Amino acid sequence: MTAFFMVFTACKKDEYFQDSGKHDPAFKGTTMDYLDAVPLYFDSLATVVRLAGMEEVFKSDTLTFFAPTDRSILRLVRELNYSLYYQGYDTIKTLADVPQRIWQKYLQMYMFHGTNELKDYPQIDYNLLNTYPGQGYLSWFGTPMNIGVIYNDDNGVKYVGYRQLTLAWIPDPAKPKDNWIIERIASCNITTYNGVVHTINDNHLYFGFSAYLFISDVIAAQENGG
């Protein structure tokens, strides 16, 4: 079965859970093993990890990983091929048609050094960022991101409800509070032998946050011979 086929079967999967549910937080294996153990949601993601040349990192480095589901890769590939076709470039037939450095560039946006669970992140209120701003972090290769925990309301009482982890991409470091792309975490605190996995809500539109930038990188690669 090719990676391309795995991407496009992702659209047939059952709707993924939208917020945290009960689960066994301890997985007996590495973070790479965990992705391989849940192919219903992460088969294409596991392929991307390998194509990015990051498999050993996911097996041995200490890593906090915000895992996007396969549907974000499916939507990205569809948008990529649509744009490539209408601009006169070669469409991709398998995930391996995208250069390794591009997969690596966008995969690392979800990767962070060290191990952090929900309890380790500060509160964020997107309506009161001056008071509850979450915290800025640099991802694996230094992309500015924000991570925070929403304290939801309950029965009209502010901040006493369930807590939900969020990850946001900061497009312009010179304007660190502008134009964030915010993703909520569906399930958090899966611990592996070498880290922690937080699964992003299945509504995460595009792997890599920006389809436009990803497409631009693929076009540049084609124009420069790969």
Contact 153, 159 (CB under 8 A): yes
State the number of CA atoms in the 13 A half-sphere of 45 facing the CB. Answer: 30
pLDDT, tens only, 142-153 = 999 999 999 999
Contact 185, 20 (CB under 8 A): yes
Q: What is the pLDDT of residue 167?
A: 98
Q: How far is CA 155 from CA 19, 48, 126, 134, 152, in A?
A: 19, 43, 20, 24, 10
Q: Where are any strands of DSSP class E within 63-160?
A: 63-67, 111-113, 135-138, 144-151
Q: What is the pLDDT of residue 22?
A: 47
CA distance 127 to 31: 34
pLDDT, tens only, 155-206 = 999 999 999 999 999 999 999 989 999 999 999 999 999 999 999 999 999 9
Q: What is the pLDDT of residue 225?
A: 81
Q: What is the pLDDT of residue 25?
A: 86
Residues 6+ apart with CB under 8 A from 173: 144
Tell how far CA 170 is from the center of its chain. Answer: 14
Q: What is the pLDDT of residue 24?
A: 62
Output the furthest CA–CA distance in the chain (Å, rounded).
59
Q: What is the pLDDT of residue 9?
A: 31
Chain mean pLDDT for the chain: 90
Residue 93's identity, in one-letter code, is K
